[in-house]
Chain A
Amino acid sequence: MTGAALPVWAAWLVVALAITGAGFSLTGALGLIRLRTFYERVHAPTLGATLGMALILTSSMVLLSLIEGRLVLRDALIGIFLTITTPVTLLVLARAAAQRDRHEGNPGAPPEL
């Protein structure tokens, strides 16, 4: 276990950031259950991919920086990578779902452009 030399306020800050971030991710996952249609559900995981991810990575960077005594920004790379890839994933998925729904003539299908 790390953090023996850490001041208590820093530990509380790190924990608060991590728990808030995990809370947003969990809320996003809950949306997969609570929302009714597919197009509503696609909105849910973006909670974890934006604010939840940002808070947890910030918490990790704060903790590592304090432990190692220098600025550790490595985790920001995961954030940059996720920010670029999440739009691609959701865009392709929504496009595929729209195409299937239109092809099958489902009532909830998106209108043609």
Chain B
Amino acid sequence: MTRLLPYPWLSLGLALTWLLLNAPLTPGSAVLALLVGLAVPAVMRALRPPAVRVRAPGTLVRLAGLVVYDMVRSNIDVARIILGLRRGERRTGFVTIPLDLRDPFGLAALSIILTGTPGTLWVQYDSQSGSLLLHVLDETGGDEWVRRVKDRYERPLMTIFS
């Protein structure tokens, strides 16, 4: 198992990508997809990428749903800000968030989530102190954004990539 498939998820992803690019499904493209899925990870082994361990698939699905919902909502929020449809004072500013998440894959996932929801911008992360500098388009004041990032995204990510 480990010798033939050192990175099973990478193999699966590559084979699926090949099939998507070469639709419709024919026996020939299925064989080629299998070959790509087996050969490329074997070459990748020379680079020794660290293997990803994903736990708690239920949490993963719930987080994905939450991110899609947040993406749509914050897209509409930012569109309203740009078009000037929102009344009242708006403040922008930088927010520093102390992160407990240390896993590189978890941090990468967090950066994708924060970029995917417009209105938050990842400016800088310091791996020594684990603090993250965010720019927020609609700063509400207080530590609302800190709590939002930590409760909504960081906790499930720590469960998934623990």
Binding site for B on A (CB under 8 A): 24, 27-28, 30-31, 34-35, 37, 39-40, 42-44, 46-47, 50-51, 70, 72-74, 76-77, 83-84, 86-87, 90-91, 94-95, 98, 110-111, 113
Contact = CB atoms under 8 A, between A and B. Distances in A.
18 contacts: A27-B79, A31-B82, A39-B92, A39-B123, A40-B137, A42-B135, A44-B82, A46-B115, A46-B116, A50-B75, A51-B72, A86-B116, A90-B122, A91-B111, A94-B122, A95-B123, A111-B96, A111-B133
Nearest to B25: A70
B37 interface: no
A21 B78 CA distance: 15
Contact of A113 (B79, B115, B116, B124): B124
A87 B112 CA distance: 6
Interface residues of B, number: 34
Given A73-B23, A74-B23, A87-B111, A47 B79 contact: yes
A113 B131 contact: yes
A110 to B, nearest CB: 5
Contacts of A95: 123-124
A2 to B, nearest CB: 17
Interface of B: 17, 20-21, 23-24, 71-72, 75, 78-79, 82-84, 92, 94, 96, 111-112, 114-119, 121-124, 126, 129, 131, 133, 135, 137
A94 B135 contact: yes
B26 to A, nearest CB: 12
A64 to B, nearest CB: 10
Contacts of A94: 121-124, 135
Contacts of B94: 110-111
A78 to B, nearest CB: 11
Contacts of A28: 79, 82
B8 to A, nearest CB: 19
